[in-house]
Amino acid sequence: MKKREFITQDLLSKIFQTASEPLHKLPAERELAEEYGVSRYTVREALKKLVSIGIIRIVQGSGIYVSENARSNPLVYNSITEKRFDQMRYRLLSLHKRLPSKEQQQVFGIGENEWLWHFCRLRYVDERCTQIETSSLPLARFPDLNQQAIESSLQRYAIGKGLTLSHFLTHYQAVAVDKAQAALLGCKRGTPAMKITNRGILSGSEVWILSEVIDIHYECTYVTPFNADNLRFRSGS
């Protein structure tokens, strides 16, 4: 683990470890550099990640403050969501209209003759090709889907249509990159990757997008409360 990543994880842990007296403020950048035995630049890079996911805020001339709701919300961040949109770009590979499969009919709640948009795009993060994404959206809901929307943020595109996004159902599976995927991602066949299947759900419970992503640089950190019921279930008691 890189030093800056360790510092991010360690500070995050300390914020959640402090139960009786919640941590409101972190030590100054200079103090953190001394504590971890690294340069101030390394500390700054670690803090940037905590800022990007809303855990801390840096007030110039005042200090580094822990956000008030940092400990009250479940935290999930990964190698994509921690990046700003100006650090990412997309390249459309294909866009077609297709009739839905049986599974897609169930997912979207549509009939066999209702068309779907089906597209494939590459995602670059800091100019490094990192993902192949294949997605489907209902044509009736998004009749004007085009290259510009696909090579931007689809979430902002959906919100721009007046839709209210509710939540995502996401499944992760470790896979190896095949020959065709390796050619697109610029890596070797058999490279370890994460296969991420995602359903985007609107506030009215309708699924608006179904995606499958192959990511060769995926990282994820999350915090969850202890679940005593789950422990009893797994223990068979």
**The pTM of the whole model exceeds 0.85:** no
Structure tokens of 3? 């030093």
Overall average pLDDT of the 201-206 stretch: 91
Q: Which residues contact 21 (CB under 8 A, 6 or more apart)?
A: none
Contact 99, 112 (CB under 8 A): yes
Contact 155, 164 (CB under 8 A): no
Is pLDDT at 19 greater than 70 in this prediction?
Answer: no
**Gyration radius from the chain CA atoms:** 21
Q: pLDDT digits over 169-184, tens only?
A: 999 999 999 999 999 9
Sheet hosting strand 56-59, strand order edge to edge = 25-26, 63-66, 56-59
> Does CATH number 3.40.1410.10 belong to domain 81-222?
yes
Is pLDDT at 200 greater than 80 in this prediction?
Answer: yes
Distance of CA 216 to the CA centre of its chain: 14
Contact 56, 65 (CB under 8 A): yes
Structure tokens of 11? 């500070």
Q: Where are the domains of the chain?
A: 3-71, 81-222
Domains 3-71 and 81-222 are alike in CATH topology: no
CATH fold for the domain made of 3-71: Arc Repressor Mutant, subunit A (1.10.10)
- Band (pLDDT 50/70/90 cuts) for residue 22 is low
Q: What pLDDT is recorded for position 18? A: 63
Overall average pLDDT of the 163-171 stretch: 93
Tell me what the pLDDT averaged over the chain comes to: 90
Q: What pLDDT is recorded for position 85? A: 79
Is pLDDT at 20 greater than 70 in this prediction?
Answer: no
Sheet hosting strand 207-215, strand order edge to edge = 88-98, 116-125, 128-138, 207-215, 192-202, 165-176
| Number of CB atoms found within 10 A of residue 177's CB | 21
Is pLDDT at 63 greater than 80 in this prediction?
Answer: yes
Map tokens 């896979």 to a residue. Answer: 175
